[in-house]
Amino acid sequence: MTCFPFLFGKRAKSPTGSVGNDEELLGMHNVRLYTYKELKVATEDFSLANKIGEGGFGSVYKGRLRNGKLAAIKVLSAQSRQGLKEFLAETKVISVIEHENLVQLYGCCVENNHRILVYNYLENNSLAQTLLGRGSSSLQFDWQSRSRICIGIARGLAFLHEDVQPYIIHRDIKASNILLDRDLTPKISDFGLARLVPANMSHISTGVAGTIGYLAPEYAIRGQVTRKSDIYSFGVLLVEIVSGRCNKNTKLPIGEQYLLETAWNLYERGELVLLVDMSLNGDFDAEEACKYIKIGLLCTQDSPKLRPSMSTVVKMLMGEMSVEDRKITKPGLLSDLMDPRGKIPEKNKGSDGLFLGNSTTSSEPSTVTTATFTAQYDTNNLSSAL
């Protein structure tokens, strides 16, 4: 089990030797510190030609480090005060963990007012731009590739939830945060909204954060987050990968716009195979594909208590545990709570007034102490970035 010594560490010194007088350098002794000059050279002065992504907290550039390695260099916007919190969270979380299905942090820059993260560069962008991008990529995703991607994401998330201490809730599992290497191995990225949860806590309370479409309805209303929130997001993503469809498509008829709702209707009719991506041209294992969609429905059930753990999900995906003997109940749909304008009515708001529809809550007992954090709601996708 991986532990996080930085939680009890001393403040690190900056490259100039001065000790930080605020939280910004806390825990940085676990990370390689690059100078701003090094990264400026690596990206050819942050050339527009090397820019590979942009999001709410800044831009990402492709660069070549002095050791010859290609890197994705994520530059925090100087104007983003909220982004600084996400920078610190991302650095601390990813600096001490390593897994085949997580992005690898090379280091960072905290020189003067610069806040930059340096990651391994991944050649094949994100699932959002490739599999779900339709027309923007020449990559072909056969059934075997999709199956490996689903299992890889599940393994990475199971590692965060169960193999590190304190465990990690990602809070923003979605297609644009799943990057692909040369062999289409998936890597979970963007830990800017991640939270560490000590073992003695059942949940944490946060400002609503995440991406509409992937967020469990209960989190959107009450703002409490548990591992079940991530599991819901994974379930949505799983159905997206099998179907080749985004979780919402306003170009479709009203009754077919929400992917989860469509999946549930087809499940009730015993016609799940109709949801499998038509671009596969029938070249897939129908039984396995339907099983994956059922697992997605299990992960998105309305009651968080009924959603399986990620280690159980891995076993089901790999055929080590049966899906057929599990009762599947209706998924929790944020759309069920919305009025025609796409807003949650007053009667469906939680006591704290949170209702933006971008997070997930826990129905686990809340008798233990909780920690409170705040985070900026980010509606921007960081394309090929982290």
Please confirm, yes or no, whether 181 is among the known catalytic residues.
no
Written as six digits, the tokens of 370 are: 């909780």
Closest CA to 76 of 372, 382, 383: 382
> CA 50, CA 189: separation in Å to the nearest integer?
20
Query: Could you say which of 45, 163, 172, 378 is catalytic?
Result: 172
CB 19 within 8 A of CB 13: yes
> CA 227, CA 312: separation in Å to the nearest integer?
13
Closest CA to 75 of 25, 24, 34, 116: 116
Q: Which amino acid is at 313?
A: V
Residue 378: strand, helix, or coil: coil
Q: What is the C-alpha end-to-end distance of the chain, expressed in Å? A: 25
Residue 3: strand, helix, or coil: strand
On whether 74 is known to bind a ligand per the annotation, the reply is: yes
Closest CA to 276 of 268, 18, 284: 284
> CA 45, CA 367: separation in Å to the nearest integer?
52
Residue 97, number of CB atoms within 10 A of its CB: 18
> CA 156, CA 188: separation in Å to the nearest integer?
7
| Torsion, Cα of 33, 38, 42, 48 (10° steps) | 100
> CA 379, CA 376: separation in Å to the nearest integer?
10
CB 93 within 8 A of CB 196: yes
Please, which residues have CB within 8 angstroms of residue 129's CB and are 6 or more apart in sequence? 136, 137, 176, 383, 384
Catalytic (active-site) positions: 172
Residue list for the binding site: 74
Residue list for the binding site for ATP: 74
